[in-house]
Amino acid sequence: MKDFLDYFGARKYEMNKGYSAEWVARKIRWSNNEEAIGILKVWAHSSRAEECTEEKLKELNEMTDDEVLSALKALEEPSVLRRMGDKQLNIRVKLTTTDTHKTFCKQALIDSGSTSSCISWKFIEENNLNTIQLPFLITCYNADGTTNKNSSVTEVVRMSMTIGDHQELIQLSVTNLGNHDFITNGYLLDL
């Protein structure tokens, strides 16, 4: 790994990984596909390495500079995971949209195996909620590590979430959730 990074000049940038999103963006634009995919795989979170393909590279090379930086920063984050199983914990939450201030009281499924909080497309459409288009695609994975064939995340929604007397702003990935409207990750267990 060190030799790979030294070879590409990444050691000049002493940041968290030894190089910046800006450096990665420049290198993938000007490197051949094999080298660029290698750089992306080193940059990406380990759970997202299989997303680093020629298709992803082409997608990144067609984006504006700001979009590429956003996409690279997202690629550093863990993938959206949903664990399947018969044991589940639900909690009552109050969700308020940040743009129109619509409020909903919902049962949320707490999934300690998830790395992101999600809201269902069905709920978004039924309640005519505004979403934010991502400049990149986030691949969803199942608990067994396989790619979820049902959907990928292309949009998010920002809401205020209240549980008891705790309130915070949260970004929810919009995806298909089967019979659930809202799934949140296990960090809520610490409240």
The string of pLDDT tens digits covering residues 98-123 is: 999 999 888 887 776 777 788 888 99
Residue intervals of the chain classified under CATH 2.40.70.10 are 81-190
The string of pLDDT tens digits covering residues 30-62 is: 889 999 988 888 888 777 778 888 888 888 888
Query: Which residues, in sequence order, are CB contacts of 167 under 8 Å at separation 6+?
Result: 160, 161
State phi, psi for 12 to the nearest 5 degrees: -70, -25
Are the CB atoms for 175 and 103 separated by under 8 Å?
no
Per-residue HEC secondary structure of the chain comes to: CHHHHHHCCHHHCCCCCCCCHHHHHHHHHHCCHHHHHHHHHHHCCHHHHHHCCHHHHHHHHCCCHHHHHHHHHHHCCCCEEECCCCCCEEEEEEEEECCCCCEEEEEEEEECCCCCCEEEHHHHHHCCCCCEEEEEEEEEEECCCCEEEEEEEEEEEEEEEEECCEEEEEEEEEECCCCCCEEEEHHHHHC
CATH 2.40.70.10 assigned to domain 81-190? The reply is yes
DSSP β-bridge partners for residue 168: 161
Categorize the per-residue pLDDT at 1 as very low, low, confident or very high, splitting at 50, 70 and 90: very low
pTM of the model: 0.57
State the chain's mean pLDDT as an integer. 77
